[in-house]
A and B are shown apart, each in its own frame.
Chain A
Amino acid sequence: MSARSRLLSLYPKEWRERYGVEFEALLEHTALSPRLVGDVVVAALGARVAQLWRRPGRLHAFGGSAGRGRIARVVLSLLLATAPVASGAVGYYLGSRDREADMPTLYPATESAFRTYPTGTFTVFCQDVRTMTWVALTKGSSTCPAAP
């Protein structure tokens, strides 16, 4: 099995059936490098996790047995369940930094964005016009302060 075929085999079977031929054709025109391998490995892992999450009743992604499938589902559920908690902790930390700096408003913002989680919770992000970075809004408001 060639290196490119090995990379393709990292993807779930259903993904390969849909995109495998064209993906392999693209790989043939792309020079193998550590960056390419890393890019494909991360994407293939993402495809397997997405498949696992979409179709919890048919878990073939981690080996096919019912026991392995259950374990994989539990691990994935735990990871996803802790995402809002981790997000809240980061938001609380950012809010603490703002209070320490005694800022009456969080950040002057030009844009807002929402990040939703499978549990239905969400975090609001505002764009700091001074640094053009996105930061979590944590002070009980769902709207970003207006840009000056």
Chain B
Amino acid sequence: VGETRANAAFLILTSLATGPKHGYAMVTDISAFSGTELGPGTLYTALQRLEADGLIAPVPSEDRRRPYRITPAGLATLRSLSEDMRKLMGVAARRLATR
């Protein structure tokens, strides 16, 4: 469960890095760039947590579909996570190269 939640949070932050999006736009964007189909329950559980942590914020809207934007803290978190993953991928690539 924890891993799923972490993956959903990473995918959402990545999606919002290109600009504010509402729930449906996030789901379609995440599906397009990762192939992951986030369910509405999983999406909003992650959105609630990210908002509570100050990593995303709602954008005022008259539409029923409320958009969210990534905050400066969210961008810093995404950069840190991306760097961690880049290092890990480097280790994997170097080890695969020796086989």
Band of interface residues on A: 20 to 34
Dominant secondary structure of chain A at its interface with chain B: helix
- Cβ of A94 within 8 Å of any chain B Cβ, yes or no, is no
CB pair B2–A115 under 8 Å, yes or no, is: yes
Interchain nearest-CB distance for A142 vs B (Å): 19
Known: A110-B91, A147-B91. A26 touches B24 (CB 8 A): yes
CB pair B39–A39 under 8 Å, yes or no, is: yes
Chain B interface residue count, CB cutoff 8 Å, equals 22
Known: A110-B88, A110-B91. A26 touches B40 (CB 8 A): yes
Known: A22-B66, A25-B65, A110-B88. A30 touches B48 (CB 8 A): no
Q: Can you name 18 A-B pairs with beta carbons within 8 Å?
A: A19-B47, A21-B64, A26-B22, A26-B23, A26-B24, A26-B27, A26-B43, A26-B44, A30-B27, A40-B39, A40-B41, A43-B39, A43-B40, A43-B45, A46-B45, A110-B91, A115-B2, A147-B91
